[in-house]
Every structure is written in structure tokens, then in C-alpha cells.
Amino acid sequence: MKMDFKCNIKIAILKASFFLIVIFSCNVSFAQIVNDIIMKNKTNSLLILEKPHFPSPEKDALFFFSGTYSFDLYTYFGKVKEVQKIHSIYNLAQAIVSSDTVFFESKKKYLINLDISKKPIKDLIGIDSVSKKTDTIQLFHFDEDASYVYQVYELKNEQIINSSENTNVLYYSTDYSYDKHKKLIKIATTDDYGVEEIETATYDKNGLLTSKNSFDTNDGINVVRTNYTYKNKLLTKVEKKEVLYFLPTELNKTTIDKIDYSQYENDETFINRTILNFEYHKNNRLHKVEEISSAFSKKDGVQYKNTRTFTLEYQPNKLVIYANLPERRTYEYIFDAFKNPKEINSFIIKKDKTWLHKKTTFKILYDE
């Protein structure tokens, strides 16, 4: 349940593996119907069941750095049946020092259940059984490796309003709240020990996310505030501030998202701040990303500061990213005729010498 913003581009890039894949259908004809719906982008005709989460505009803009972008078959175009991923690492002499191969088969789940919805359902939960109550529906998922671990999702008006998870260590319960536009505005989680985490969000009149806030009581109260700025509905700036507070005990009964934390900041308050700036071409294609990270307090001054830039160049079936971290890197994404990833190359640049460091190839098998 940790807040997802940690859009630290360096971390995203350093993930050695880039891509995962995930078709179950009631019958062939239904699978074809669902596929046609998806290919025509009639998203209103499809109910997607997954654990509720807030949108991440920064991750949408930086999809190519996502750890799941190419590992998730839901992001692929066409009728993908299987993908073979080969990841190799090279040394300066361009000899392969390590290589591994992984196969992924499509396991997309589509189903029809009139107790849940009249719409076709894309099941991202892994529903094992359904129980219908008066005005709510319970969806059960049992862990494949340990039958005593289970998850229960409570559904009302085609929206998940509660989820609970019974693990071999703790029991977690999460409530989800929505506004009149069915936008998720609050996630509140507690465990057996009363450790609480709350996440909230706000949106503008266009339905675009304008802020996310996370409050976690696992150790003190860790507060993360993230604000989003747009121009012509394009994300132009993201600002994140993270602070760990230790508050007076008399505030223990106060709802953690209702506290005015600014009055508990002082000269020793340590602040982590990240700013992302986005620039676009005239055709609205992302052109440049700048990330500025810093950590400081008034008393001790700036303890850390770093700037990273990423410049994007678009070529036919190829995306090239020139990075300054500040060390120089070049990332090359090559796509097939379906616009699915075919190859990713990572180059190191030192003293005007460029050499291939990592290569990931994808051999995609399509259904005829």
C-alpha cells in the first residue's frame, strides 16, 4: 500500500529486467468478442476488476521506464500468445558476461458473471469464487501456494469498496472511497496492530489528478505530498515532498489525514523533495524530462542534490533516449509492426566512447 509515486527515474532504469506478460476465456467466441471490444477501445463496455489504486500521470508519461511496461501482456497490441525474453549483459570488450532467457505465456482472464455485471469482465484479481449479498458482492482469491492465505474484495455498484487480506503474518483491511464521478479519492488501510495508512487524492474539473497525499504510521508518521500541474491537459510538472514527523501523543486519536503538519516542522525537519519537469514537441509528444532531487533541513542545509535529464528522439519504430544521470547513457527501444517492444539496448558513454552494456530481445509469438 505504499504510495506509488517513488518515480525515481534512476531506480526505474537500474531495474535490470524490463518486461512481464500476463488468456483465460469462457469460450472461444466470447474471447473473440472481448478482444474486439478492447481493440475498438470501447472501455465503457468492459468492467476491469483490480485492486483500486490512484492514477500515476508521471508513470503514464514515462511508460518506457516502467518496470512492468513490457512484462505485462495487457499493454501489448495484437493477439500475443507467448513471449521469449532474452536479457544479456556485456563488458567493455563487448563479450557477454551473463545472459538469461525467460518465457511468458498469455494468461489474460476474461469472464461473464451476471451477478457481478452485465458487462464482460477483465479479471485482474484472479477470482476463485463469488458470494452475493443484498447489495454487495464478495470476490474471493486464494493464494496458489498457500491455501490459508486469501483475499476478499467487496463490490458495490461495480466498484470495489473494501478489500481484506489474511496472510500468514497479519490481517489487513482496506476501505476505498469515491466521489460522485466515481473517482477514487481515499484509501484507508489498517492491520491487526492498528498500524494505519491513508492515501487521498484530488482532481480538477477535467478529471485530471491534481494531488496525492500519503500518511503512514508504521514509524512515526511519514507524510508524502505530491502535486501535479498541467497545460492543455498535458502533464508539465510533478512536485513531491516527503517528511517523517514524530507528533505529541495527544494527537494519537486524531485522524492522520486531518492533522496540520506544518505546525510541527522546525529547523531540524528533514525534507526529501523531487521535482519532475516535462517538455513536449508541438505535436504533444514528450520531448524532455528533468528530475531534480534534494534532501535538506534548515539547520543542516542541503545534504543531497542531483539533477537528471532525459531527451527523447523518435524514429520509425524506434525511440531513443539520451540520459544524463549525470553519467551519460543512451537507451534504444525498437518496436515491431504491432508497436510491441522487440529490442531494448542500453549504452554507456565514456570519453566519447559508446559501448553496449545491456540488451533485451523479445521474440513474440502471435495467434493467427
- Write the DSSP symbol of residue 8: -
One-letter identity of residue 75:
T
| CA separation for the pair 71, 83 (Å, rounded) | 9
What is the pLDDT confidence band of residue 8, given thresholds at 50, 70 and 90? very low
- Which residues does 180 contact at the CB level (< 8 Å), separation at least 6? none
Residue 25, pLDDT score:
26
- Which residues does 281 contact at the CB level (< 8 Å), separation at least 6? 287
Segment (H or E) for 248: none
Which backbone phi and psi does 9 adopt, to 5 degrees? -60, -35
| CA separation for the pair 149, 172 (Å, rounded) | 12
Q: What average pLDDT does the structure give for the chain?
A: 83
Asked if residue 70 has pLDDT above 80, the reply is no
Cross-strand bridge partners of residue 311: 288, 322
Is residue 84 a contact partner of residue 103, using CB atoms and an 8 Å limit? yes
Is residue 261 a contact partner of residue 226, using CB atoms and an 8 Å limit? no
Please list the alpha-helical segments (H only) found in the chain.
9-14, 28-39, 57-61
Weakest-pLDDT range from 153-167, 251-265, 325-339? 251-265
- Supply the pTM of this predicted model: 0.81
pLDDT tens track for 204-249: 999 999 999 999 988 889 999 999 999 999 999 999 999 999 888 7
Is residue 110 a contact partner of residue 116, using CB atoms and an 8 Å limit? no
